[in-house]
Amino acid sequence: MFCEASKLPDNVFELKQVISSLQASSEEKELQYQADIEILKEQVAFLRDKLFGRKSEKYPLDLNPPQLLLFDEPGDISSDQATSSDEEIEVPAHKRKKPGRKPLPKDLPRVNVIHDLTEEEKVCDCGCQMSRIGTEESEKLDIIPAKIRVIHHIRYKYACKSCEGVESEQGAVKIAPVPEQLIPKSIATAGLLAYVLTSKFVDHLPFYRQEGQFKRIGVDLSRATMANWAIKVAERCNPLLSLLQTEMHSGPLVQIDETTVQVLKELGRENTKKSYMWLFRGGPPDKPALIFQSGYAVYSTKHNML
């Protein structure tokens, strides 16, 4: 606030004091104005973001207790704080990870490929034979594509040429027994069945895509055949499912998740009818058992599935 000229003192020393106080007051108000301006800028930016920004993360307005202020209210800034000099602080040292690819697992099999110079290249320009002083090594990751093969079973037959089987109760000819198969009279081994089902239910690779993969390696294996294999393997797994159900009921509770799906072109059912998928989890808490089932049973019979 400026004083009137008639009220100013005539003494030079008093005039200097008045000017000094006015200057200090002006600087203090200037700092206060700058702080208020910064706060107002932040509030304007926040409101512009609320009006024109993304609305995917809205905060509720009816919180109890209510939402606190996002910005500090402008307060008095003392001249001591405003004019304080910058303080030096010591930042502790920190560790930084060196960028680079992770080393390859040590348990993977390794094949050494030696790269050497020819005998002519081992001769120096001066005519002397060069000596090996070290090596430079690097590792590359390789993969062998899936190979398919045919297991040719040969069962030898034996017969007695002396009595021609007259004195034998088991007949004239003996042959080695047929090895146990997961699906009798099928061309699929246990390894092929595990590969097909793992690709289907773990890697989410449909049967028609697997059919194309087998065609690329020269094997005609239809999706209908693989679907029949999956059904028969599921039937052979019924004893295992019974053990899982018993283990599931041994726990303190059973958790069930139900998901509705729509199955198209299902025999005997319209496309508008709902089908279901159920996931059951139970058993001891440290060793839970999981069972996945699907179908279109009604609620009165679904609870009898376990």
Residue 284 belongs to a domain? yes
Residue 258: give the domain boundaries. Answer: 251-306
Residue 275 belongs to a domain? yes
In this structure, what token pair is assigned to residue 197?
Answer: 């089902």
Residue 7 belongs to a domain? no
AA letter at 285: P
Residue 237 belongs to a domain? no
Res. 164: pLDDT tops 80? no
Kindly report, residue by residue over 116-159, the tens digit of the pLDDT.
Answer: 999 999 999 888 999 999 999 989 999 888 888 999 999 998 88
Cα separations in angstroms, 179 against 24, 174, 184, 187, 269: 103, 15, 10, 13, 41
Buried b (16+ CB within 10 A) or exposed e, 270-302: eeeeeebebebebbeeeeebebeeeeeeeeeeb
Query: Band of the pLDDT at 166, cuts 50, 70, 90?
Result: low
Residue 291 belongs to a domain? yes
Percent of the chain with pLDDT over 70: 81
In this structure, what token pair is assigned to residue 72?
Answer: 């500090």
Which of 47, 63, 85 corresponds to the end of one domain? 47
Instruction: Please name the residue that has the structure tokens 């599921």.
Output: 234
Kindly report the CA angle at 169 between 165 and 174, in degrees rounded to 5? 60
Instruction: Please name the residue that has the structure tokens 């058993």.
Output: 283
Q: What one-character-per-residue DSSP string does 95-148 give?
A: --PPP-PPPPPTTS----------TTTTB-TTSPBP-------------PPP--
Angle, nearest 10°, between helix axes 207-216 and 223-236? 120
Residue 143 belongs to a domain? no
Res. 6: pLDDT tops 80? no
Residue 186 belongs to a domain? no
Cβ–Cβ < 8 Å for 275, 261:
yes
Q: What are phi and psi of 222, to 5 degrees?
A: -80, 160
Q: Whole-angstrom Cα distance, residue 230 to residue 210?
A: 13
Which of 26, 47, 68 corresponds to the end of one domain? 47
Question: Out of 86-90, 106-110, 205-209, 272-276, which region has the weakest mean confidence (pLDDT)?
Answer: 86-90
Number of domains in the chain: 2
Closest Cα partner for 194 from 242, 146, 241, 247?
A: 146
Q: Whole-angstrom Cα distance, residue 282 to residue 254?
A: 5
What's the pTM value of the predicted model, to 2 decimals?
0.55
Res. 177: pLDDT tops 50? yes
Residue 269 belongs to a domain? yes
Kindly report, residue by residue over 199-214, the tens digit of the pLDDT.
Answer: 999 999 999 999 999 9
Kindly report, residue by residue over 211-241, the tens digit of the pLDDT.
Answer: 999 999 889 999 999 999 999 999 999 998 8
Per-residue model confidence (pLDDT) at position 4: 63
What letter would DSSP give residue 87? P
